[in-house]
Amino acid sequence: MVSHVDLLQYITPVDWIVFFLVLAATLASVLYGQSLKSKLSEKEKNSPVELLLMGRKLTLPIFVATLVATWYGGIFGVTALTFEKGIYNFLTQGIFWYISYLIFAFFLVKKIRQHQAMTIAGLAGELFGPKAEKLTASLNFLNLLPLAYTISLGLFLQALFGGTLFINTAIGVTVVTLWSLWGGFRAVVFSDLVQFVFMILGVVLVVVFAWAKMGSPLTLVDKLPATHFSWTGGETIAATFVWGFIALSTLVDPNFYQRCLAAESDKVAKRGILISTVIWFLFDCCTTLGALYARAALPDANPQNAYLQFSMQLVPAGVRGLILAGILATILSTLDAYLFNAATCLSYDFLNLKKRFKLWHHHIALISVAVLSIFLGVHFEGNVIEVWKTLGSFSAACLLFPLLLAQWRPGVISQKSFCWAVSLGCIGIVSWRILNHIYAIAPIDEFYIGLLLTTIPLLPSFLIKKA
């Protein structure tokens, strides 16, 4: 781990001024968003639709900004993966996901917006019943626990200021929790507007300066291991394609659904996802190239923060402040969204407080999620990729097939069948993980076990016509 002294020696007062100006702009954006609530009636201000979906009034620019910013919080995860395995990151964290985004835009947007649900668990409740809603909420909660992003924030603050990962994570998450408590989804969205600009600017500047100082990316071929330019990065095909299935979890992701349901029209949601996909592609190109340059320049650095260390050594004073602000914006824009939606999942869906939903219910849930995330984040010891793979497996393997099938062929899956198949998949994932760890039965990822056990009981539904 790079010490805070190593990084602080590169940061000048000008950098700190720029850094804190960006934070001030973020706060100003949140305040502006809150000021717009004055135009709403008291009933609208206190309604669940306003708190959870900003009144379903996301315009195209706001939709794109909040979707793009929310989806890319694990910057230390993707850059560490590139640092270690090269363009394998671009395949597993890029190309697989673009396919999912396009499927969502062209085939799911209209179907999702036909329903009156405000969450994906609520959609499961409409499609199957209340037991299915609670089961879906449980798995969504696992997927939404922002452990990867609390870890990323902790690593960022630790690299700057030193101290333990736990203390830095606790401080950072506390600050994010405070503004999420105050403004609801509206605060998340308006903070994303500023964070979107600086997260893009930050990764672009790293590539521009690296290209200028170290030469064209083509020169990296001679400076890096050959495996860094292999699409599998030395991994097996089966292990690589697990990421392809995990990417399909986008099709049942609560953050995607929330923004889709909050858009002011079907057209805004569809176009917004397509525009966002182009921006994500460019962002991935920049983070991948930046991490490859970092590997060439600092081959012995710690992968978890090599990108940050490289960036600080690369750019001049003033620009370092922008880079730091961009990295922080990338993390915060995702962390606040996941904290907010995990709290929604707990209070609104799982505890079934819809009819008597109050703001303080959501506040208590949000604080609980924040505390839980801080302590569980320590368990993974700063490994962002392991968090994604462990928690993402449940929703991707167990919810993907039944929820998609139910939307395409409503009525063919009963609530009992849904709950049985999803539960069987979850049991399979946990059991296989434990048994394979103890006995090393076979090199088959537990994801495939969960997907298989969830899908097989529902296959007859393909052959059943809706009554």
Q: Which distant-in-sequence residues (6+ apart) come within 8 Å of 399 by Cβ?
A: 136, 139, 140, 249, 252, 422
Domain assignment of residue 394, yes or no: no
Reported pTM: 0.86
312 burial type by CB count under 10 A (0-12 exposed, 13-18 middle, 19+ buried): buried
Q: Which domain holds residue 47?
A: 4-382
Domain assignment of residue 313, yes or no: yes
Angstrom CA distances, 155 to 49, 170, 195, 302, 378, stand at 35, 11, 19, 12, 11
What CATH number is associated with residue 33?
1.20.1730.10
Domain assignment of residue 425, yes or no: no
79 burial type by CB count under 10 A (0-12 exposed, 13-18 middle, 19+ buried): buried
β-bridge partners, 263: 58
Nearest alpha-carbon partner for 340 in 136, 446, 184, 118:
184
Q: Helix, strand or coil for residue 58? A: strand
If you search the block for the tokens 């509206």, which residue do you land on?
186
Confidence (pLDDT) at 3: 44
Domain assignment of residue 51, yes or no: yes
Buried b (16+ CB within 10 A) or exposed e, 111-127: ebbeeebbbbbbbbbeb
Q: For 104, how many CA atoms within 13 A lie in the half-sphere containing its CB?
A: 30
Q: For 374, how many CA atoms within 13 A lie in the half-sphere containing its CB?
A: 18
Domain assignment of residue 453, yes or no: no
> CA 77, CA 89: separation in Å to the nearest integer?
10
188 burial type by CB count under 10 A (0-12 exposed, 13-18 middle, 19+ buried): buried
Nearest alpha-carbon partner for 190 in 63, 50, 74, 278:
63
Contact 54, 186 (CB under 8 A): yes
Q: Helix, strand or coil for residue 114? A: coil
One pLDDT digit (tens) per residue for the chain, 467 residues: 344 446 777 888 999 998 899 889 988 998 898 888 888 887 777 788 888 889 899 999 999 999 999 887 678 788 888 999 999 989 988 999 999 999 999 999 998 998 878 888 889 999 999 999 999 998 888 888 888 788 888 888 887 888 888 898 899 899 888 877 777 788 889 999 998 999 899 999 999 999 999 999 999 998 998 889 988 887 888 778 878 887 888 888 888 999 999 999 999 999 999 999 999 999 999 999 999 999 999 998 888 888 988 998 999 988 999 988 888 888 888 888 889 999 988 888 887 666 666 777 888 999 999 998 888 776 665 555 566 666 667 877 889 889 988 888 888 888 999 999 999 999 998 898 888 878 777 777 788 888 899 988 888 876 665 44
> CA 235, CA 412: separation in Å to the nearest integer?
39
Q: Which distant-in-sequence residues (6+ apart) come within 8 Å of 62 by Cβ?
A: 189, 193
> CA 264, CA 53: separation in Å to the nearest integer?
10
Domain assignment of residue 258, yes or no: yes
Number of domains in the chain: 1
By residue count, the chain amounts to 467
Q: Which distant-in-sequence residues (6+ apart) come within 8 Å of 336 by Cβ?
A: 176, 179, 180, 187, 188, 191
Domain assignment of residue 462, yes or no: no
Confidence (pLDDT) at 427: 93
Contact 392, 140 (CB under 8 A): no
Contact 334, 146 (CB under 8 A): yes
